[in-house]
Amino acid sequence: MLIALASLNPSWENKTENLLACGQHFRKAKSLNAELIIFPEMTLTGFSMNIGVTAEEKDSSPTFNSFSELSSKYKIGVVYGVVFRQNLKATNNAIFLNKSGEIIGLYKKIHPFSFSGEDKYFEGGEEILSVSFGSLRIGVTICYDLRFPEIYSALGVTSDLIINIANWPEKRIEHWITLLKARAIENQVFIAGVNRIGNDQNSLDYVRSSIVVKPNGDVLEPKFSIGNLDIFEIDQSFISKLRSQFSTTQDRRPDLYKRIL
């Protein structure tokens, strides 16, 4: 399967402008026969705590309607980030749409980034997400989740590919690369990390670092690149081949881990 990773440089809290940029990425992805396109965390706003501006009602989300139209128009599945209101706070979400623009998965970020104060404005989710898309089973996570291997161990049981959509700054980019590789190696699955670029109103800089890591820890080379869009081929047979040669996941002891964590 061909998947597209869009390293978006979002205009701060400007949903209209960012949606136009996303539409261009859809067109590029379609021209290269991608079946799935993935955008960074909080796709149309950047990583903003201003939930009065960014948050939408889940059941009447303009962002959902826009991505649904793009997905059905180009016949490409999509994973994107959006903020929904929840009581007095909000949730940081990743939405998975199929090629018809229908929702097949909604994931609420389990781990708000307390170091930046995200937990003051956002409620953490309680459920992991893994969905079937084409021939693949795909798990979804968001940014700071990457630092918590337990949810990846759970997703790795049934997933061929686990996605992380992020706003991960340049000053900690070595952590980003290292953790993406670790999550792939320890679970023997493909990991796709989709990060933004540019800079934001928090005076943070971001560098191009969207990658796919193979189940053996090697970074996969893109088949095509156009501007800030990279196309990768996910070969599901690589997983079974690797595990037949060197399998490790069967030696896990989850019952013990539950007792000692």
CA atoms of 3 and 133, how far apart (whole Å): 11
Active site residue 58: no
Cβ neighbours of residue 114 under 8 Å, at least 6 residues apart? none
Give one word for 107, left, alpha or beta, with left for phi > 0 and alpha for psi -120 to 50: beta
Does the annotation count 22 as an active-site position? Answer: no
Non-local (6+) Cβ contacts of 141 within 8 A are: 94, 107, 109, 110, 151, 152, 155, 162, 163, 164, 165
Q: Which entry of 28, 143, 181, 214 is annotated as an active-site residue?
A: 143
- Residue 41 a catalytic site member: yes
Q: Which of 35, 41, 56, 118 is catalytic?
A: 41
With a CB cutoff of 8 Å and minimum separation 6, the contacts of 219 are 181, 211, 212, 213
List 109, 118, 181, 214, catalytic entry: 109
- Return d(Cα 195, Cα 124) in angstroms, integer: 21
219 pairs with which residues across the strands?
A: 213
The residues annotated with a catalytic role in the active site are: 41, 109, 143
